[in-house]
Structure 1
Amino acid sequence: MYARPAAATAAALLGVGALLLPTATAQAATPQSTNTVQASTATDSPVVVAHRGASAYAPENTLAAIDKASDMGFRWVENDVQRTKDGELVIMHDDNLKRTTNVEEVFPDRSPWKVADFTAAEIAKLDAGSWFDAKYAGARVPTLEQYMNRVEQNHQKLVLEVKKPELYPGIEQDTLDVLKKTGWLDREHVGSKLVWQSFSADSMRKVHALRPDIKKGFLGTPSVAELPEYAKFVDQINSRHTTISYAYVASIHAMRGPHDKPLEIFTWTVDEAADAQRADGYGVDGIISNKPDVVRSAIADD
């Protein structure tokens, strides 16, 4: 059911799926210059990315969530980055702390509990696990530095999303500074372990100007007529799974990005087997999921 179309398969074999696990041949190849995005290799199966870590099974965007993804065998994880009052980058999806921490109990007089109104030390006091399950009580909101170190420790790869960059002027350079500090801007990491995505085209243009070698994805579903403009500064168009079709995916693959490689598409947030099979049939290059095990099983049975 939903067999991957032959055309999409052929395209993938020619290099569309640049983020899939490297084969022995690819691993042995001489690394390319950091002036270009280095692809891994491609198969006819999409990358499965654990959304905010394995967030159906552990509290999202915590170290526990990426550890859970690792335990389940997933090499790729996705996260979200915000900035604190004192300039620390932390891993949090929402721009406020209410939904996934006990901030209202710890700081009852600090409504509306925006990340940008709290220092990193204050956020470090919060419980970011109990809301999900009592067994995760005491889990903390990690800093980006802590997070990058754990991803490295787990031998994982990362789709990094800067949330609402318009709220945090200069966050692109701040993020690059942390990536450099943690060793994630060398040839190996930039070449095959990192994708930077955002809903902001302006932010993606800034990142491309600062570090054109980093692989970048625009979150959204631009019209086909707009794709040539996006192809100047991003390598991926990463769309909600309900907004795409086989024809749209084919249009993306027909474009070449800023590193003269076919544009890719990762789709999100896919948690049902039927949706995973449909996206796979469209020929997408990656599927982002809270339940990556469900996706893996669905496309393996395809």
Structure 2
Amino acid sequence: MSNSLLKRTLVVSALVAVAGATAVAPAQAGGSYHDEPDNIAHHGAAGEAPENTLAAIDLALDQDADFVEVEVQRTSDGKLVAFEDITLARTTNAEEVFPERNPWFISDFTLAELRQLDAGSWFGPEFAGERIPTLREVIREVTYRDGLLIDITNPGIYPGIEADILEELSADRWYFLLAQRLGTIVVQSWDAESARTFSTLAPAAVPVGAAYGYRPGVDELTAVSEWADFVSVFQGTFEDALVGEAHGLGLDVNVHTVNTPAQMDALADLGVDGIVTDFPAVLDDVLD
């Protein structure tokens, strides 16, 4: 998610362009760009609030994150929710509320059942009562003005989830139009085939990326560059040469999860396009 695709600083200019009759390409929408990487809040400000909750999202935006990353899965009754794990055990009180439902796979629960769970107390008592949000709620919280990165999580468990996500994004036509024009909606997956499937369904104005738990080689980068806009890699597998290789193929590079100022500063100097962090306020200070 590079500055050329994603960093938009003159929102008013973009809105004027949207209102006009002439179509504006995403890279032109903002009118000006930063030279720094995008500040991408990992599951919201997950270092300071319970991940993938509206509290974490709001805090990230208050801390000037450019994008909020949320992981999306599907309930048993077909609703899309922001949640990372396959099971509810780690970050909710599902074991207490539904003791007979072990191992508490999120795909086995309806949205109404998820609404009964506390997704905040595990992080701290001040977050008691936080709920698992739906993707629709996340969209409304972020709005088209700020960036939303949707991570398609465990797609093998949810056949057709790519189309479901696109349908949810398209449900509010005004939001989706503005988000495309401003470059504030992005989608990725750790499953390259899922990301590619979404890329075939989505408008070209929605950047799509492949995330890797390893360092992709040149051949793999070349193949993915045929349909993707960016790649995302773990900090532990990142190599300096990856930036040049990816950029040479027209791909942007995001690195995660980066939580110390020294690491953030070093990656920014190397020219990465996005830094994913649990502490967007720290990254904002580094980039200032």
Q: Same fold (TM over 0.5)?
A: yes
1:246 aligns with 2:224: no
Q: Residue 266 of structure 1 is aligned with which of 247, 254, 273?
A: 254
**1:195 paired residue number:** 186
1:281 aligns with 2:269: yes
Q: Residue 225 of structure 1 is aligned with which of 194, 219, 236?
A: 219
Q: Which amino acid aligns with 1:193?
A: T
1:216 aligns with 2:208: yes
**1:167 paired residue number:** 157
Asked if the contact 1:264/1:284 (under 8 Å) is kept, the reply is yes
**2:78 paired residue number:** 87
Q: 1:185 to 1:217 in 2, by over 3 A?
A: farther
Percent of paired sites with the same residue:
37
Structure 1 unpaired stretches of 5+: 1-11, 257-262
**1:57 paired residue number:** 48
Deviations 1:108-146 (A, max 9, x none): 010110001111100011000000010111110011111
CA distance in 2, matches of 1:156, 1:184: 15
How far residue 61 of structure 1 moved from its aligned partner, in angstroms, is 0.5
Equivalences for residues 12-161 of structure 1 within 5 A: 17-23=4-10, 27=14, 30=17, 33=23, 38=27, 40=30, 41-152=32-143, 155-161=145-151
CA distance in 2, matches of 1:105, 1:73: 36
CA distance in 1, matches of 2:239, 2:268: 11
Q: 1:141 to 1:290 in 2, by over 3 A?
A: same
CA distance in 2, matches of 1:87, 1:98: 21
CA distance in 2, matches of 1:299, 1:245: 21
CA distance in 2, matches of 1:178, 1:27: 23
Alpha-carbon RMSD = 2.3
How many residues in Structure 1 have an aligned counterpart in Structure 2? 279
Deviations 1:71-108 (A, max 9, x none): 22223211010111111111101111111100000000
**1:7 paired residue number:** none
Q: Which runs of 4+ in 1 moved over 6 A?
A: none
Q: 1:22 to 1:73 in 2, by over 3 A?
A: closer
CA distance in 1, matches of 2:5, 2:165: 23
